[in-house]
Amino acid sequence: MELNDLIHHSGEWLKGTGPHGHIVLSSRIRLARNLTLAPFTNRAGKQDLEAVLKAVEAAIRSIAYFKDAAFFRLNELDNVDRQFLVERHLMSHDHASNPQGKAVIVSQDEALSVMVNEEDHLRLQVMQSGFNLDGTWEIMNAVDNALSQELPYAFLPEWGFLTACPTNTGTAMRGSVMAHLPALVMTRQINKVLMAISKLSFASRGFYGEGTQAVGNFYQISNQVSLGHSETDIIQNINGLIRQVIEQEEQSRQALLVQNRAVLEDKIWRAWGILKSARIISSQETIELLSTVRLGVDVGIITDLAPTTLNELFIMIQPAHLQKIEGKKLGASERDVRRAQLIREKFQG
């Protein structure tokens, strides 16, 4: 699989077919793992990082889950290609910023990816559509077990899996969901919800995870601590919290429909009109308007637009994607024109 092959299809997590897909865009399980054959990345030299890369590349060849997966060395990709992978949620901004001695592995359906030599030697990630942490963990557990047969993990019985950051020690697991919460934002309940999430020792982040702000009313909600908690406990705790968030979002949507339907419809149709007719539009404005239109689809006000189309657009209108689609580098103003054109084409199709 080549990098450009990813342009022509959407990942598993964007399908919008999973449970509670009208509110939860995706579920993700991430594991941090380090190998005994080299120092942690913050102390590793060039030869150490290369040894990890070679060991991981050899290991995945014998594991069925990585059949036909792509192994991309980041120093062989240009800035646009690396940003493209970040925009598809296949690796982090930090991983892309310093490409030396790093790689990313991507399965054909993009459900599975592995960052090699990020903060830890391995950052394993499985993403599924909708609210499906249990199914996501089932896949991740099998992948992790298969890898552990091929690679020597750094592990101590009293501490669990050893990681570069102490907060990840233990199971070294982070479970998260990407939730679309426009009604809680419109009814000004979102801050109360986020404060409650924080008090329960969960984290809420933006569309691209750690270090990013919420855009388009998307919030990534995850556990903060793994030490002292089993994988099952972590998933059960997140599941319980997300069920409450889903219930509150659904109640807020119903309240908007009953108490302020005309105002809600006006906001939705204005967003729809701008997106269908704009000739120049920024990514920030696009994401906010797509969020409003997605709410319109979810509550049945807009009936002739597939949720999958909207999910794909959230990714396709990003800067690197526009440049990959166009096949050349584009300036900011050129991207704004191409973005508007792409949206019109999608909505007319």
Neighbours of 137 (CB within 10 A): 22
| Lowest mean pLDDT, pick from 91-105, 123-137, 208-222, 307-321 | 208-222
pLDDT band at 5 (very low <50, low <70, confident <90, very high): confident
State pTM to two decimals. 0.92
Sign of CA dihedral 309, 137, 119, 200: positive
Residue 60: is its pLDDT beyond 90? yes
CB atoms within 10 A of CB 138: 14
φ and ψ of 65, to 5 deg: -65, -20
Pairing between β-strand 218-223 and β-strand 173-180 as defined by DSSP bridges? antiparallel
Give CATH for domain 3-253.
Answer: 3.30.590.10
Q: What is the pLDDT of residue 208?
A: 57
pLDDT at 207: 67
Alpha carbon distance 308, 10 (integer Å): 9
In eight-state DSSP terms, residue 135 is: H
Highest mean pLDDT among 110-114, 203-207, 222-226: 110-114
Task: Look at residue 328 and tell me whether its pLDDT is greater than 60.
Answer: yes
- Segments of the chain assigned E as strands: 24-33, 70-73, 103-106, 112-116, 122-129, 155-156, 160-161, 173-180, 202-205, 218-223
Q: Which residue has the tokens 């308007």?
A: 289
Instruction: Give me the pLDDT at residue 4, please.
Output: 84
Above 80 in pLDDT, residue 75?
yes
pLDDT at 144 over 80: yes
| pLDDT over 70 at 79, yes or no | yes
pLDDT band at 225 (very low <50, low <70, confident <90, very high): confident
Cα(87)–Cα(191) distance, rounded to whole angstroms?
A: 26
Could you tell me the sign of the dihedral formed by the alpha carbons of 232, 237, 240, 245, in that order? negative
- Among candidates 342, 135, 137, 117, which has minimal Cα distance to 125? 137
Q: What pLDDT, on the 0 to 100 scale, is given for residue 349?
A: 56
pLDDT tens column, 152-181: 999 999 899 999 988 888 999 999 999 999
- Two structure tokens written together for 337: 């024109």
* The pLDDT of residue 280: 98
Interatomic CA distance for residues 208 and 218, integer angstroms: 10
Task: Give the position of tokens 């009953």.
Answer: 258
| Under 8 Å between Cβ of 12 and 111 | yes
DSSP state letters, 89-129? TSS-HHHHH--TT-EEEE-TTSSEEEEESSSSSEEEEEEEE
Domain range annotation of the chain = 3-253, 261-348
Question: Across residues 183-202, what is the average pLDDT?
Answer: 93
Distance of alpha carbon 321 from alpha carbon 316, whole angstroms: 5
Tell me phi and psi for residue 72, to 5 degrees.
-105, 120
- State the pLDDT at residue 227: 77
pLDDT of residue 47: 96
Collapse the DSSP code of 222 into the 3-class scheme (helix H, G, I; strand E, B; otherwise coil) and give the result: strand
pLDDT tens string 261-283 = 999 999 999 999 999 999 999 99
Q: How far is CA 172 from CA 91, 163, 247, 341, in A?
A: 17, 7, 29, 43
- Return mean pLDDT, the chain: 93
Instruction: Mean pLDDT check: name the lowest of 24-28, 97-101, 164-168, 320-324.
Output: 164-168
Q: Is 161 within 8 Å of 32 (Cβ atoms)?
A: yes
3-state secondary structure of 197: helix
Structure confidence by residue, pLDDT tens digits, 10-43: 777 888 788 999 999 999 999 999 999 999 999 9
